[in-house]
């Protein structure tokens, strides 16, 4: 194809008009006659057996319609994130159990005629616990004889058997090294903090069908597991998702609330809504996996990496959720990014009595590449090299084996580093004169990453789409992809319009109704454009073929002579043209056709790349770090909607700055209590804390698996920004941090320690 | 929130009468930015809420170069923030009211409510204390004026009886040659509760420091004035060494705790840095 | 205790029966049928519930409904000029991609409107300062500044009457 008509243009997103006018209906905005409000009683102990629950006083409160405890709900063991095609699941959850495994776990639920009454009722439920010894850290959980969080799984407090990724001979590699670096790295516990608290509404119809309105990234997974646990056929569970207020990965799980909401609705015969409070999004939501990484690498004098050995331990919290996926993806990621022949990496994941870690943008890779990229920076210093040069020299490239086992396509990472160097004038920055006056020191850092689009090979993915053309030439796309805010429905409509050759405005999108749209695995793993976009393109191509055939017949030419563009059908090499509408219209007694295209796509995986160049300012008297500017360079194969793509990058950078410098969900290590489950003390960067961001998008390594080569972008930015900041802090003050979040008082303590050492 | 009865009295007498009828189970409501949060979090569950906003005379905002500043109980942080007079004569207070929550909150939050909440980290308290502010209190036995110093007795506690209302805060007029600074330390630029706050109110005459208030916020159960630090500069030429010594004395005097926001040790170090910076800034203003 | 309140909601006089312990936010959403104003935290920290009350920007979650008796309230539903015509801020939030999931968007647009009412040509720093009480977790804020700045520029060019 020559020039694009729609791809690469920032068309008006089709979901935004509702959002800017306030008319977009999120689940909590929907009114239902007779609606009841459900609320959850959460445990105030971290590990205990429930001896007795007395809900009689709550039930006696006027307005309370039902209370459910573990003895009132089906006891079905299920996975918190039951991806139907996942290779590794941890089946370790009940709807409600007679045990609690973390502070804040659901113990009972109430449905009442108002939120206030439901809340008051919670205070009237008495729970008697038998306390059990608990483990809050990896050390405690792995100690021989440690209390067990579950009596399932491979034993000990392991969520899964350790994952090993090996090639070559690391011992030999280390023997060949001129320099060996070894270090411990640690990632904290940030949370996604989407602005819309988790919410669902359930209603049963007289035929025994259940309708669920829910804020989820994975409506078909919700349907599947709810049907299974509640014993219903799939056609009796209808899941509806229209607008949702962010998810960032975490809204791939079920939060027990969904089942409880359905059961409360069944018991009361009325619609029930359960909406988390902000505090509950911390306690009952999902966090990133805290991680410990031991990493050792060998280098030749010229910077070549001779060996890489690592152990990475993820903390899963009280349930497995995405632990297996995160462990696999994060562990195998350590075998890539920077080339190395001799690799031995072992990843594991451990249960503790803490809130549940789940999927969150960057999925295990944030932690892994934070360690790897910082250690590359350390190696550059030790070798007396420019870190950008060292990273360029070792950057993975065309033909190298990716974490998924595939050969990589193109030179995306090298392109990002080179372009970024030019953008910021890296050479000049490296040799600039340092301003040592006053308390502020400035520094520049580079952080690199790569991230897969799709969860392959961990999940054998499948995308589906149906496209139909109406008799006036307009088009409807049916997709199961959830619109969690990224603009994916616009992007898919652009793809369909471009593929068929009609205008963007003539394509509308039906989504968010499991009874109406084809099955979808969910919106996650940076795959909505790569997989959802590609399959929409495939279905559109089928419609186009039918359109071309009809036009060819009408024009009495060979189909190869027909060209369709911007809603106009023309015959090549002639000035004959008609509109798509005219082609479709009934003619001479021949009715208008119904063109339907459908497609199924089983993608493998592509990799996107990024290099972030970051400038920070460090106040050496207070330890405060401020990010001044970021130049993110991303290689994404093909840019479909530039504004939406840049928006993903800027948003990812906000979250990444947050987890690197500010955000820390803290757990009391004596009791397991959450110390800051609120926005007062869980600090995300706000308007005034954000740097200027100058985004650069590259299309140098398109992947044939995506539409016109397009790859994912959702997760990449949050991975690269962290090490870039840590490396910039080193450049500013010469102090190396191996953990996040890097807090001002740690910066100050490190500076003072160094000074003490120097004296 | 638990249910409660709600009243909007039009006079102080009516307000006090309502509180007495309610046998002290009532709460005064000004901006509500503390009270509503506390009620939602079940920290307080008053039987009645008495809104002060309809009481006449509580919204005055008056400055006189002799008698000083008179702020009524309904004056909001945003009004102080946007007042050129406040910036000119009470720069510390104006800064505290600017580096405070968000515009949305500042449009509701009153300065007097901030005082009466008696939070260790309340932003308006250090600059007001550094300026020797006092409070007018109305109660069943009439009106009294008390020094702000000593008003807060513990976190969330004051000397007020339940049926007493603070009607005004009074701040003396600044002497010529006075500079005021408030520095707040937090992780974010805005929307932060202070991990440390330092207010300095400094008057120079003939090259020497003739009056000085140094007050620390968020490092003791109540805002802490530090006479030991002030003494090192009073009646002296503010040399670099003396400024540093005063800052060190402030750090010595504070009694910080460790919590999720910061450790005690870090808070103490920040007291030293911020006190020094505040003094230096005040001296620069006067230069 | 319940109370009847009279107020002007987006220019329309309304009478509502409210419980004294209900916030204005819950009342707008439940009794007022105005669900554009969102609840992200319920304690003043996120700005999703931002509305204009008697000309002042406030968090509806920190106001009791009874306090709104006699008040004039503008919510996101009252920003549009007419059913068919968007406010320039709304146009530019779309054009510049200043909304993603959209949950924070009503709060931001209302805050931006209050800012431009008060200060028609704010600097970039003034825009950032004025919106410090609104959290967006999706956009990274860059595009929100662009949208507000561009709106201010356009409105100045087209004359204030365009408002
Ligand atoms: C999001 C958010 C951010 C915040 N950020 C900050 C910050 O940065 N710095 C800071 O210092 N505070 C902050 N606060 C706290 C709060 O805004 C202030 O303490 C505010 O000044 C309280 O004033 P108010 O008028 O809202 O008081 P209210 O909530 O109405 O009252 C507070 C207390 O004082 C009592 N009271 C009020 N007026 C009187 C009176 N006239 N006489 C006797 N008693 C009275 C009330 O009964 C109540 O106990 C923040 C609050 C929120 C919600
Ligand atoms: S809901 Fe009111 S500020 Fe968050
Ligand atoms: S657009 Fe999602 S929070 Fe702002």
Q: Rounded distance, CA B127 to CA B216, Å? A: 9
Q: What is the pLDDT of residue A88?
A: 66
Instruction: Indicate the residue of A20, A650, A690 with minimum beta-carbon distance to C109.
Output: A20
Q: Judge contact between A138 and A352, C-beta under 8 A.
A: yes
Q: Judge contact between B158 and B152, C-beta under 8 A.
A: yes
Interchain CB contact of A169 with C (< 8 Å): no
- What pLDDT digit, counting tens, does each position of A513-528 carry? 999 999 998 888 889 9
Residue C44 beta carbon below 6 angstroms from any ligand 2 atom: yes
Structure tokens belonging to residue A12? 């008006």
pLDDT > 80? residue A154: no
pLDDT > 90? residue B38: yes
Mean pLDDT of chain A: 96
DSSP string, B175-216: PTTEEEEEEEE-SSSSS---SEEEEEEEEEETTEEEEEEEEE
Instruction: Work out the average pLDDT over C118-139.
Output: 97
Q: Rounded distance, CA A723 to CA A334, Å? A: 14
DSSP string, A253-304: S--SHHHHHHHHHHHHTS-EEEE--HHHHHHTS-BPPPEEEEEEEEE-TTS-
* Closest CA of chain A from B101, distance in Å: 10
Instruction: Pick one of 3.90.1150.10, 3.30.390.50, 3.30.70.270, 3.40.50.920 as the CATH number of B178-286.
Output: 3.30.390.50
> HSE (CB half, 13 Å, CA atoms) of B4?
27
Residues of B in contact with A743 (CB under 8 A): 187
Q: Rounded distance, CA A466 to CA A478, Å? A: 5
Tell me whether residues B188 and A662 touch, CB distance under 8 A: yes
Tell me whether residues B101 and C66 touch, CB distance under 8 A: no
- What pLDDT digit, counting tens, does each position of A209-242 carry? 999 999 999 999 999 999 999 999 999 999 999 9
Q: Which atom of ligand 3 is closest in space to residue A245's alpha carbon?
A: 2
Q: How far apart are the first and last CA of chain A?
A: 68
Gap from CA of C152 to ligand 1 centroid (Å): 33
Gap from CA of C46 to ligand 2 centroid (Å): 5
Residue C102 beta carbon below 6 angstroms from any ligand 2 atom: no
* Closest CA of chain A from B24, distance in Å: 24
- Which residue of C39, C102, C109 sits with most ligand 3 atoms within 8 Å of its CB, as the best mutation to test the pocket? C102
- What pLDDT digit, counting tens, does each position of B76-113 carry? 999 999 999 999 999 999 999 999 999 999 999 999 99
Could you tell me how many residues make up chain C?
163
Q: Which ligand is nearest to the CA of C39?
A: 2
- What pLDDT digit, counting tens, does each position of C32-52 carry? 999 999 999 999 999 999 999
* Ordered structural domains, chain C, with CATH: 2-77 (3.10.20.30), 88-157 (1.10.150.120)
Residues of A in contact with C35 (CB under 8 A): 22, 25-26, 28-29
Q: Rounded distance, CA A370 to CA A738, Å? A: 8
Q: Where are the alpha helices (DSSP H) in C66-141?
A: 88-95, 105-118, 124-130
Q: Judge contact between A635 and A416, C-beta under 8 A.
A: yes
Q: What is the pLDDT of residue C81?
A: 83
Omega prior to A433 cis, within 30 of 0: no
| Closest C-alpha residue for ligand 2 atom 3 | C44
User: A16-23+462-601 maps to which CATH number?
Assistant: 3.30.365.10
Q: Rounded distance, CA A353 to CA B75, Å? A: 48
Interchain CB contact of A666 with B (< 8 Å): yes
Tell me whether residues C64 and B32 touch, CB distance under 8 A: yes
Burial class (CB in 10 A: 0-12, 13-18, 19+), A79: buried
Q: Which atom of ligand 1 is closest in space to residue B137's alpha carbon?
A: 42
Residues of B in contact with C63 (CB under 8 A): 32, 36, 108
Sheet holding A48-54, edge to edge: A99-100, A48-54, A126-131
What residue ranges line ligand 1, CB within 6 angstroms? B 27-35, 37, 52, 73, 100-101, 105, 108-110, 112-114, 116-117, 122-123, 160, 165-166, 193; C 43-45
- CA distances from residue B61 to B66, B69, C148 in whole angstroms, order as listed: 15, 8, 33
DSSP string, A299-364: E-TTS-EEEEEEEEEEEEETS-TTHHHHHHHHHHHTTSSB--S-EEEEEEEEE-SSPPB---TTTT
Q: Rounded distance, CA A37 to CA A194, Å? A: 22
Among A277, A689, A691, pick the best mutation site for testing chain B contact (most B Cβ within 10 A): A689
CATH topology assigned to domain B5-51: 3.30.43
Q: Rounded distance, CA A756 to CA B15, Å? A: 61
Give the percent of chain A with pLDDT over 70: 99
Residue A237 is inside which H or E element, if any?
Answer: strand A237-240
Chain centroid to Cα A685, Å, comes to 19
Q: How far apart are the first and last CA of chain B?
A: 53
Interchain CB contact of A63 with B (< 8 Å): no
Q: Is the ipTM of this complex over 0.95?
A: yes
- Which residue of A22, A244, A485 sits with most ligand 3 atoms within 8 Å of its CB, as the best mutation to test the pocket? A485
Structure tokens belonging to residue C132? 């410090």
Q: What is the pLDDT of residue A607?
A: 96
Structure tokens belonging to residue C103? 């949950």
What residue ranges line ligand 3, CB within 6 angstroms? A 195, 246, 485; C 99-105, 136-139
Residues of C in contact with A680 (CB under 8 A): 43, 45
Number of Cβ atoms within 10 Å of the Cβ of A623? 24
Residue intervals in chain B for CATH 3.30.465.10: 61-171
> Nearest CA to A235 among A262, A214, A269, A210?
A210
3-state class (DSSP) for residue C74: strand
Residues paired with A310 in a beta bridge: A295, A345
- Using 50, 70 and 90 to split pLDDT, how confident is the model at A87? low
Residue C128 beta carbon below 6 angstroms from any ligand 2 atom: no
Residues of C in contact with A644 (CB under 8 A): 97
Tell me whether residues A683 and B187 touch, CB distance under 8 A: yes
pLDDT > 90? residue C5: yes
Name which residue leads in pLDDT, B104 or A461. B104
pLDDT > 50? residue A1: no
- What pLDDT digit, counting tens, does each position of A409-422 carry? 999 999 999 999 99
Q: What is the pLDDT of residue C162?
A: 47
Instruction: Indicate the residue of A196, A244, A654 with minimum beta-carbon distance to C141.
Output: A654
Number of Cβ atoms within 10 Å of the Cβ of A154? 11
Q: Rounded distance, CA A751 to CA A449, Å? A: 29
Closest residue in C to A192 (Cα) is C137
CATH topology assigned to domain B61-171: 3.30.465
- What pLDDT digit, counting tens, does each position of A581-640 carry? 999 998 877 788 999 999 999 999 999 999 999 999 999 999 999 999 999 999 999 999
- Rama region for A473: left / alpha / beta (φ>0; ψ in -120 to 50; rest): left
Residues of C in contact with B79 (CB under 8 A): none
Instruction: Work out the average pLDDT over A69-92.
Output: 85
Q: Where are the alpha helices (DSSP H) in A501-577?
A: 534-555
| φ and ψ of A417, to 5 deg | -65, -45
Q: Rounded distance, CA A73 to CA A96, Å? A: 7
Structure tokens belonging to residue B236? 């002296």
Gap from CA of B42 to ligand 3 centroid (Å): 30
CB contact set of A455 (below 8 Å; sequence gap of 6+): A83, A86, A325, A329, A461, A524, A525, A527
Among C39, C67, C74, C126, pick the best mutation site for testing chain B contact (most B Cβ within 10 A): C67
- Using 50, 70 and 90 to split pLDDT, how confident is the model at A459? confident
Q: How far apart are the first and last CA of chain C?
A: 41
> Nearest CA to A557 among A581, A578, A588, A587?
A578
pLDDT > 50? residue C163: no
Residues paired with A407 in a beta bridge: A401
- Using 50, 70 and 90 to split pLDDT, how confident is the model at A140? very high
* Closest CA of chain C from A526, distance in Å: 15
* Closest CA of chain C from A690, distance in Å: 7
Q: Which atom of ligand 3 is closest in space to residue C138's alpha carbon?
A: 2
Gap from CA of A330 to ligand 3 centroid (Å): 28
- CA distances from residue A564 to A6, A509, A542, A588 in whole angstroms, order as listed: 13, 21, 14, 23
Give the percent of chain A with pLDDT over 90: 92
CATH topology assigned to domain A410-451+607-759: Aldehyde Oxidoreductase; domain 4 (3.30.365)
Query: Buried b / exposed e across B155-166, counting CB within 10 Å, b at 16+?
Result: ebebebeebbbb
Residues of B in contact with A117 (CB under 8 A): none
- Using 50, 70 and 90 to split pLDDT, how confident is the model at C65? very high
Gap from CA of B105 to ligand 1 centroid (Å): 9
Instruction: Indicate the residue of B29, B40, B104 with minimum beta-carbon distance to C133.
Output: B104
Chain C from 19 to 48: CB within 8 A of any A CB: 19, 21, 26, 29, 33-43, 45-46, 48
Q: Rounded distance, CA A272 to CA C52, Å? A: 32
Residues of C in contact with A715 (CB under 8 A): none
Closest residue in A to C92 (Cα) is A20
Residue C152 is inside which H or E element, if any?
Answer: helix C142-158
Q: Rounded distance, CA B25 to CA A569, Å? A: 79
Instruction: Work out the average pLDDT over B4-32.
Output: 95
Q: Rounded distance, CA C46 to CA A39, Å? A: 22
> Nearest CA to B259 among B206, B212, B193, B205?
B193
Instruction: Work out the average pLDDT over A105-132.
Output: 97
pLDDT > 70? residue B71: yes
* Closest CA of chain C from B31, distance in Å: 8
Gap from CA of B167 to ligand 2 centroid (Å): 29
Residues of B in contact with C116 (CB under 8 A): none
Q: Judge contact between A399 and A384, C-beta under 8 A.
A: no
Q: Judge contact between A690 and C142, C-beta under 8 A.
A: yes
Residue intervals in chain A for CATH 3.30.365.10: 16-23+462-601, 410-451+607-759
Inter-chain Cβ pairs, chain A and chain B, closer than 8 A = 42
Among A681, A742, A756, pick the best mutation site for testing chain B contact (most B Cβ within 10 A): A681
């Amino acid at each position: 194809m020559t020039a694009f008509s729609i791809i690469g243009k920032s068309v008006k997103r089709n979901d935004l008009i509702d959002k800017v006018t306030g008319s977009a209906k999120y689940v909590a905005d929907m009114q239902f006659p007779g609606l009841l409000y459900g609320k959850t009683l959460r445990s105030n102990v971290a590990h205990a057996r429930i001896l007795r629950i007395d809900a009689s006083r709550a039930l006696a409160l006027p307005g309370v319609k039902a209370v459910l405890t573990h003895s009132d709900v089906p006891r079905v063991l299920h996975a918190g994130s039951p991806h139907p095609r996942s290779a590794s699941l941890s089946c370790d959850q009940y709807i409600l159990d007679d045990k609690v495994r973390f502070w804040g776990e659901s113990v009972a639920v109430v449905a009442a005629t108002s939120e206030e009454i439901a809340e008051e009722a919670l205070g009237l439920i008495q729970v008697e616990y038998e306390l059990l010894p608990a483990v809050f850290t990896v050390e405690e959980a792995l100690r021989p004889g440690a209390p067990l969080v579950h009596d399932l799984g491979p034993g000990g407090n392991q969520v899964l058997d350790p994952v090993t990724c090996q090639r070559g001979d690391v011992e030999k590699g280390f023997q060949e090294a001129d320099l060996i670096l070894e270090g411990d790295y640690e990632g904290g516990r940030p949370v996604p903090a989407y602005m819309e608290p988790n919410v669902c509404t359930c209603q049963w119809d007289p035929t025994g069908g259940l309708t669920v309105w829910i804020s989820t990234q994975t409506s078909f997974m919700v349907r599947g597991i709810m049907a299974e646990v509640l014993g219903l056929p799939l056609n009796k569970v209808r899941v509806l998702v229209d607008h949702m207020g962010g998810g960032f990965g975490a809204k791939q799980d079920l939060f027990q609330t969904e089942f409880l909401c359905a059961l409360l609705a069944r018991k009361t015969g009325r619609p029930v809504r359960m909406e988390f409070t902000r505090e509950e999004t911390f306690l009952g939501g999902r966090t990133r996996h805290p991680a410990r990484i031991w990493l050792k690498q060998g280098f030749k004098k010229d910077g070549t990496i001779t060996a890489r050995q690592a152990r990475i331990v993820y903390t899963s919290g009280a349930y497995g959720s995405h632990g297996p996926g995160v462990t696999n993806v994060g562990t195998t990621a350590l075998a890539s990014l920077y080339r190395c022949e001799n690799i031995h990496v072992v990843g594991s994941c451990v249960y503790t009595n803490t809130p549940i870690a789940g999927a969150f943008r960057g999925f295990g890779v944030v932690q892994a590449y934070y360690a790897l990229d910082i250690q590359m920076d350390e190696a550059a210093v030790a070798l007396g090299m420019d870190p950008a040069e060292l990273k360029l020299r070792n950057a993975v490239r065309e033909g190298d084996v990716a974490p998924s086992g595939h050969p990589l396509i193109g030179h995306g990472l090298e392109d990002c580093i080179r372009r970024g160097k030019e953008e910021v004038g890296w050479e000049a920055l490296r040799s600039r004169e340092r301003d040592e006056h006053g308390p502020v020191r400035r520094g520049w850092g580079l952080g690199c990453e790569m991230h897969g689009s799709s969860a392959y090979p961990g999940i054998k993915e499948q995308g589906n789409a149906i496209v139909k053309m109406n008799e006036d030439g307009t088009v409807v796309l049916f997709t199961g992809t959830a619109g969690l805010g990224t603009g994916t429905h616009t992007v898919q409509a652009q793809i369909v319009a471009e593929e068929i050759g009609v205008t963007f405005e003539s394509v509308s999108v039906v989504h968010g109704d499991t009874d109406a749209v084809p099955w979808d695995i969910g919106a996650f793993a940076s795959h909505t454009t790569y997989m959802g976009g590609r399959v929409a393109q495939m279905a559109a191509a089928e419609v186009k073929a039918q359109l071309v055939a009809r036009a060819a017949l009408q024009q009495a030419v060979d189909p190869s002579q027909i060209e369709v563009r911007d809603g106009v059908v023309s015959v090549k090499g002639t000035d004959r043209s008609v509109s798509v509408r005219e082609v479709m219209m009934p003619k001479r007694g021949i009715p208008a056709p119904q063109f339907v295209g459908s497609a199924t796509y089983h993608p493998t995986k592509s990799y996107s790349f990024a290099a972030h160049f970051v400038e920070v300012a460090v106040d050496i008297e207070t330890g405060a770090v401020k990010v001044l500017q970021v130049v993110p360079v991303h290689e994404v194969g093909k840019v479909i909607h530039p504004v939406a793509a840049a928006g993903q990058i800027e948003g990812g950078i906000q979250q990444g700055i947050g987890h690197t410098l500010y955000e820390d969900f803290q757990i009391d290590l004596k009791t397991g209590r959450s110390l800051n489950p609120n926005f007062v003390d869980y600090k995300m960067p706000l308007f005034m804390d954000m740097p200027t961001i100058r985004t650069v998008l590259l299309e140098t390594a398109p992947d044939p698996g995506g539409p016109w080569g397009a790859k994912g972008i959702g997760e990449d930015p949050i991975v690269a920004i962290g090490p870039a900041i840590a490396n910039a802090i080193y450049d500013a003050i010469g102090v190396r941090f191996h953990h996040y979040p890097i807090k001002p008082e740690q910066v100050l303590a490190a500076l003072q320690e160094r000074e003490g050492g120097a004296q | 929130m638990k249910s409660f009865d709600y009243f909007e009295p039009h006079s102080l007498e009516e307000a006090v009468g309502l509180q007495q009828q309610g046998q002290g189970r009532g709460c005064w409501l000004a901006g509500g930015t503390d009270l509503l949060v506390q009620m939602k979090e079940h920290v307080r569950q008053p039987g009645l809420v008495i809104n002060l906003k309809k009481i006449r005379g509580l919204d005055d905002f008056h400055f006189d170069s002799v008698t000083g500043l008179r702020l009524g109980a309904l004056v909001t942080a945003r009004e102080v923030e946007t007042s050129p007079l406040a910036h000119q004569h009470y720069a510390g207070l104006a800064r505290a009211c600017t580096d405070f929550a968000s515009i949305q909150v500042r449009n509701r939050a009153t300065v007097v409510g901030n005082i009466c909440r008696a939070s260790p980290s309340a932003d308006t308290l250090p600059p007001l204390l550094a300026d020797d502010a006092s409070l007018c209190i109305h109660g069943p036995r009439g009106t009294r004026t008390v020094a702000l110093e000593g008003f807060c007795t513990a976190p969330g506690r004051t000397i007020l009886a339940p049926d007493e209302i603070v009607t005004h805060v009074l701040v003396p007029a600044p002497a010529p040659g006075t500079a005021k600074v408030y520095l707040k330390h937090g992780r974010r630029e805005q929307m932060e509760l202070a991990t440390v706050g330092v207010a300095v109110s400094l008057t120079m005459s003939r090259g020497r420091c003739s009056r000085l208030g140094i007050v620390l916020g968020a490092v003791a159960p109540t805002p802490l004035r530090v006479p030991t630090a002030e003494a090192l500069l009073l009646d002296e030429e503010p040399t670099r060494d003396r400024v540093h010594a005063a800052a060190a004395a402030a750090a010595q005097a504070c009694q910080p705790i460790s919590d999720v926001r910061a450790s005690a040790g870090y808070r103490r170090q920040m007291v030293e840095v911020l006190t020094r910076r505040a003094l230096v800034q005040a001296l620069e203003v006067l230069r | 205790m319940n109370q009847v309140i009279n107020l002007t909601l987006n220019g329309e006089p309304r009478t509502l029966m409210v419980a004294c312990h209900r916030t204005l936010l819950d009342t707008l959403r439940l009794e007022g049928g105005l669900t554009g104003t969102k609840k992200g935290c319920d304690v003043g920290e996120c700005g999703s519930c931002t509305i204009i009350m008697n000309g002042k920007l406030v968090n509806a979650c920190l106001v009791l409904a009874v306090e709104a008796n006699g008040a004039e309230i503008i919510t996101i539903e009252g920003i549009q000029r007419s059913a068919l015509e968007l406010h320039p801020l709304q146009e530019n939030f779309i054009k510049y991609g200043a909304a993603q999931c959209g949950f924070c968007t009503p709060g931001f647009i209302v805050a931006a409107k209050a800012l431009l009412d008060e200060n028609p040509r704010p600097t970039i720093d003034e825009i950032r300062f004025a919106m410090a009480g609104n959290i967006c977790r999706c956009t990274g804020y860059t595009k929100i500044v662009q949208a507000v700045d561009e709106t201010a520029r356009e409105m100045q060019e087209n004359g204030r009457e365009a408002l």
